[in-house]
Amino acid sequence: MGQITSGVGLISGINTADLIDQLLSIEARPIQLVRNRNAVLGSQQIAFQSINAQLLSLKLSASGFSDDNTFDTKAATSSNESVLTVSASSSAVPGSYDFNVDRLVTTQQVITDGFADQDINAVAPGGGTLTFEFGKAKLDENTELSRLNGGAGVKRGSIRVTDRSGSSATVDLSGALTVDDVLESINNASGISVTASVDGDGFKLTDTSGASVTSLAVTEVGTGTTASSLGLTTASVGDTLTGSQINYLSADTDLSLLNDGDGVRQVTGNDIRISRQDGSSFDIDLDDAVTLGDVIDAINTADAGVGVTASINADQTGIDIVDTTVGFPFPSTLSVTALNGSGAAEDLGVLGTDGDGDGTVGGTRLIATINSKLVKNLNGGSGATLGSISITNRTGAAQAIDLSSAQSVSEVLSLINDAGAGVTASLNNAGNGLLLRDTTGATASDLIVADVSGTGAADLGLAGTYSANEADSGNLQLRYVSEATRLAALNGGKGVASGKFKITDSNGDSATVDLTQGNEVTIQDVLNEINSRGLLINARVNDNGDGILIEDTGPGLLALKVEEEGANTARDLGLLGEAANAGDDLVGSFERTVTIDTDDTLQDVAQAINDAGIGVTATIINDGSVSNPFRLSLISEQEGKSGAYVFDDGGLDFGATALVEAQDAVVFFGSQDKAKAIAITSPTNSLSTVIPGATVSLTGTSSSPVKVTITRDDSAIIDAVSGFVSRFNDVTGTLDKFDSYDVETEERGLLLGDPTIARVRSSLFRVVNNRNSDLTGRYSTLSQIGIKVGSGAKLSFDETKFRAALETDFDAVQALFTFKETATDEDTGEISVTAAGIGVKIEELLDNLTDSVDGLLQSRLNSLDDLIALGDDRIEQLNLLLDNRRTKLEFDFLAMERALAQLQSQSSALANFQPLTFNNSSN
């Protein structure tokens, strides 16, 4: 049977495969034509996509002209960038501004005494605890001058100080912001022998010249009032000039400044009940009170003139409530009680009963003496019951000292130092307690401190017998967290993250505490939210006054536990974790501790501090000394005053001292004269709110003002216009390239004659050439301001003419580009543009051209897609026909081979045929 093997007929010997391929290649020519057509269409698509990309770039360039952003661009310069740099946004207010950078932000760094090695010997063979405490844990402070004189502050300027030898010096206090600034400036003044110090609620100057030629005196310089506002224009007595009181309350004193910044614990509703001597009473609601004057007004208004009056007391450090009711003898006594759990009466120093029958309640000090803290805030707010104490120095001599009049820590120190007991009193090294040091040089007796009356020595942590020369009270736990403490003030000013946390009580029940509601402002708000969850707990300020305590009021089956639910809210409140044991309270605190084991080396200590995540970075430095070169360096992770912390080595004798004190940046703004300038403090070296819309970055200090100039940035406008012109020409150049015909070479552009190209080109030139009839200003065409179509149909830009137009009428140039009027359809609410500047019209045109859904170019690309798809379909149909044709040809050739095979078979048969022969012979 005939066959075709490997494309060659066995009978015919014809290469049928090649023959079929040749026949089909002729018939496949229409497919190639369609493919070629699709390739052209694909190239046209790429061309249109290229045009679209350039139009989008032009649109981006033109978008700055559709609103005021480009024209509002500002240029900012600094006259001394080694001191400060400046950047300005479009909203910055043009002008010249003077800055005098007095100091930059510093970060607190504490350094210890040296150790012999860092990784061999234990630093505390007996073990111990290191304490780190951010916030206001120290028993002293650097009082801001703005808080003095009842909040009126101190007038900055210069004073003239004359010592008793007759020598004078002008002391420049124009840059002084704190009491320590004043002390430092006077004590460092050259040419005079005078020492300045704080004395209670004022300053004290002491002459050290030893002369008596004239009186120690302080006078004003020129017409200034600095000396008088410092209380230093008083007459001296001998070698001492005691200034008048400048630390006092006024009606304008903010309640948040009282009680060492703990404020006043108010509640919603009535806070105080005042019971008159005649037996009647009235209640006061202080919910809206912000200042001390508000409190006084609220009390006097509520009394309605019956006979009780509230006022600032004679010492100007507290409030007196006086009952002047007539009708003695009275059936009752004047008393003030708290209502609804409010702490306002206690915090205002008026809680209690008239004990001496003078019809007055109050008088408790609400502000500490200058640079000090209140005794009543020691021991977590329990205070100290001060009476008479006895100090026996190391000679064996005893001295009784009456401390009952002291209400501030500095007063306690002064009373002891002035008693002549052979000891000096000061704050301890950590600043969170008291230190008594024997100055007699004797060793005959131990140093002994004991109470005579009251419990002051014990409450101050000093009662005891000391074989050494010092008595250290340790941490007296100054209260700096109260119910009135604002959350924003916690964590060095970082505040508390808005979020939620889950509390599980000792019965196993859980509830979520939600601090995302926006009304959580104070610690009291947090306590209210926790206590409202229905768990077997009670939240309150802890006994040390440095955090929140969650008390277990349940069966004690499980340990109390606090877990985060998203943000770090519980951590920021010091509550994250669980109680040590089932049934224990969970003590939250902003006091962080690090336990030192008996075998810990200096390296171990540094690692433990860093692992604790307390906001302090510990490193070891080698000072290069022969003995004990290794020191522990402790640097706050937060710069500025808000990153200040108290470090207490717990008696391990690390000898820590502050290498760098934390301070905020200080800048004097608005005048070349510091005394007249506005003093600005910042926790960072960046000022973003001084000049609206501008950010000033501080890089150095200066003795003379640095001028910051903010102007309209014409260069930015010109760059934007130039960029637009360039991109416009890029687009038209590309259009010309694709829609071109070279007569010499007869080369046609890929999109020659395409109507879409013509529409794009004509619409672009129309919008830049036309006069804008919507405008009524000086300019209505681009050519008037230096932008016109020039030779070669290219847009040209005359920068000189454009600058002149900006100077002539900036607003008209801006309106030419950005003017826009809109109207709102009353039925649909749709907003439409009814009148527009050229910039707006250009952007609208480009939107119409480049819209990814129904833009002109997208529509053309879609039509090309359709044509390509039709071509692909045609190719598929033709390929199917060719496949059928191939099958038919293959069948025909096979049939031919079979026919040939049959013929060949028949031919062979005929060739082998033998004719029959017959024998005619007879038998």
For 34-70, what is each residue's pLDDT tens digit? 888 888 888 888 988 888 888 888 888 887 776 777 8
Across all residues in the chain, what is the average pLDDT? 90
The larger pLDDT score, comparing residue 555 to residue 355, is at 555
- Which segment of 142-156, 222-236, 608-622, 781-795 scores lowest on mean pLDDT? 781-795
Spatial separation of the C-alpha atoms in residues 842 and 477, rounded to whole Å: 70
pLDDT of residue 28: 78
pLDDT of residue 6: 57
For 856-901, what is each residue's pLDDT tens digit? 888 888 888 888 889 888 888 888 888 888 888 878 888 887 888 7
For 243-301, what is each residue's pLDDT tens digit? 999 999 999 999 999 999 999 999 989 999 999 988 899 999 999 999 999 999 999 99
**Element at 145 (helix H, strand E):** none
Residue 207 CB partners (closer than 8 Å, separation 6+) = 163, 164, 193, 194, 216, 236, 239, 240
Spatial separation of the C-alpha atoms in residues 266 and 272, rounded to whole Å: 10
For tokens 């001599």, the residue is 397
- Which segment of 71-85, 348-362, 508-522, 905-919 scores lowest on mean pLDDT? 905-919
23 Rama sector, left if φ>0, alpha if ψ -120 to 50, beta otherwise: alpha
Spatial separation of the C-alpha atoms in residues 366 and 407, rounded to whole Å: 9
* Number of CB atoms found within 10 A of residue 74's CB: 19
For tokens 């970055």, the residue is 697
pLDDT of residue 306: 85
pLDDT of residue 745: 86
Handedness of CA 789, 795, 800, 804 (dihedral sign): positive
Spatial separation of the C-alpha atoms in residues 456 and 411, rounded to whole Å: 13
Question: What average pLDDT does the segment 606-632 reach?
Answer: 94
The larger pLDDT score, comparing residue 452 to residue 723, is at 452
Strand pairing partners for 159? 171, 220
Do the strands 665-669 and 360-362 form a parallel or antiparallel pair, or are they unpaired?
unpaired
Question: What average pLDDT does the segment 841-851 reach?
Answer: 85
Query: Helix 799-808 to helix 810-818 angle, to the nearest 10 degrees?
Result: 110
Q: How does 803-832 read in b/e, with b if 16+ C-beta sit within 10 Å?
A: bebbeeeeebbbbbbbbbeeeeeeeeeeee
- What does the block give as tokens for 811? 């607003």
Coil, strand or helix at 433:
coil
pLDDT of residue 229: 97
CB 55, CB 731: distance < 8 Å: yes
Q: Is the pLDDT of residue 658 over 60?
A: yes
Residue 95 CB partners (closer than 8 Å, separation 6+) = 709, 710
pLDDT of residue 916: 59
Q: Please report which confidence band the pLDDT of residue 2 belongs to, taking 50, 70 and 90 as the band edges.
A: low
pLDDT of residue 913: 66
Question: What average pLDDT does the segment 704-710 reach?
Answer: 94
- What does the block give as tokens for 166? 């007759």
pLDDT of residue 9: 67
Spatial separation of the C-alpha atoms in residues 490 and 522, rounded to whole Å: 10
**Element at 604 (helix H, strand E):** helix 602-612
- Which segment of 141-150, 685-694, 858-867 scores lowest on mean pLDDT? 858-867
- What does the block give as tokens for 753? 């004659």
Spatial separation of the C-alpha atoms in residues 171 and 188, rounded to whole Å: 9
pTM: 0.80
Spatial separation of the C-alpha atoms in residues 430 and 434, rounded to whole Å: 9
pLDDT of residue 5: 55
The DSSP result for 389-400, as a single string, is EEEE-TTS-EEE
Q: Please report which confidence band the pLDDT of residue 772 belongs to, taking 50, 70 and 90 as the band edges.
A: confident
The beta strands (E) that lie in 485-641 are given as 500-504, 510-514, 537-541, 548-552, 561-564, 577-578, 586-587, 591-596, 616-622, 630-636
- Which segment of 92-96, 667-671, 746-750, 834-838 scores lowest on mean pLDDT? 834-838
pLDDT of residue 158: 97
pLDDT of residue 27: 80
Strand pairing partners for 464? 449
For tokens 């940035």, the residue is 713
Backbone angles phi, psi at 316, to 5 degrees: 60, 30
Per cent of the chain over pLDDT 70 is 97
CB 554, CB 561: distance < 8 Å: no
The larger pLDDT score, comparing residue 33 to residue 176, is at 176
- Which segment of 141-145, 419-423, 877-881 scores lowest on mean pLDDT? 877-881
pLDDT of residue 102: 94
The larger pLDDT score, comparing residue 701 to residue 845, is at 701
pLDDT of residue 923: 43
Torsion of CA 415, 418, 424, 428, to 10 degrees: 30
Q: Is the pLDDT of residue 413 over 90?
A: yes
The larger pLDDT score, comparing residue 858 to residue 319, is at 319
